[in-house]
Structure 1
Amino acid sequence: MSDVPHPYSIEVSPIAKPEGHFQWAIRRSGKLIERSDRPHRSEAKAYESAMEAIERAMKPGADGGRR
């Protein structure tokens, strides 16, 4: 899996429903900034989706004032 750019971190965890699916959470300097809104079929797919969300968050003006 790719290296997550500093100061971001990704947490991927299994969810109860639907069974066998995963969710992610992104933190910037330890503070939660975004959580997945849908289940992902694999841990790798969840991680990939989280990396895409980080790339969007890193774009200038993309954070909607969340800091």
Structure 2
Amino acid sequence: MSEPSATYPYVLEVQPNPHAKGSWQWAIRQNGKLIQRSDRAANSELPALARGLEQIEKLIHGAYDERR
């Protein structure tokens, strides 16, 4: 049995940007549905991953609830 994800119910996808070589992008999905994606390219996979995880933390802890 696998451990529950610390980012549940969100899944972070980090992949190379197909339109700009040498840059990376991230996307956050919930049950397969796109919730949020990067609007700025990162220079490598690690910064893209860090930015994506930062956004998931905001989603989990309700940082966006005040705007609604």
Q: Could you say whether these structures have the same fold, taking a TM-score greater than 0.5 normalized by the shorter chain as the test?
A: yes
Report the structure, 1 or 2, having the larger helix content. Answer: 2
Return 5+ residue gaps in structure 1 as ranges.
none
Q: Which amino acid aligns with 1:45?
A: P
Q: Residue 4 of structure 1 contacts residue 51 of structure 1 at CA under 8 Å; is this kept in 2?
A: no
- Cα distance, 1:28 vs. partner? 1.3
Q: TM-score, normalised by structure 1?
A: 0.77
> Which letter does structure 2 place at the counterpart of 1:41?
N
Q: Which ranges of structure 2 fall in alignment gaps of 5 or more residues?
A: none
Normalised TM-score (structure 2): 0.76
Percent sequence identity over aligned pairs: 42
List 4+ stretches of structure 1 deviating above 6 A: none
Aligned residues: 62
* Match among 22, 25, 41 for residue 24 of structure 2: 22
Give me the CA root mean square deviation.
Answer: 1.8
Larger Rg: 2
Structure 1 residues 24-46: Cα deviation after superposition (integer angstroms, max 9, x where no partner): 00001221100000000111110
Match in the other structure for 1:58: 60
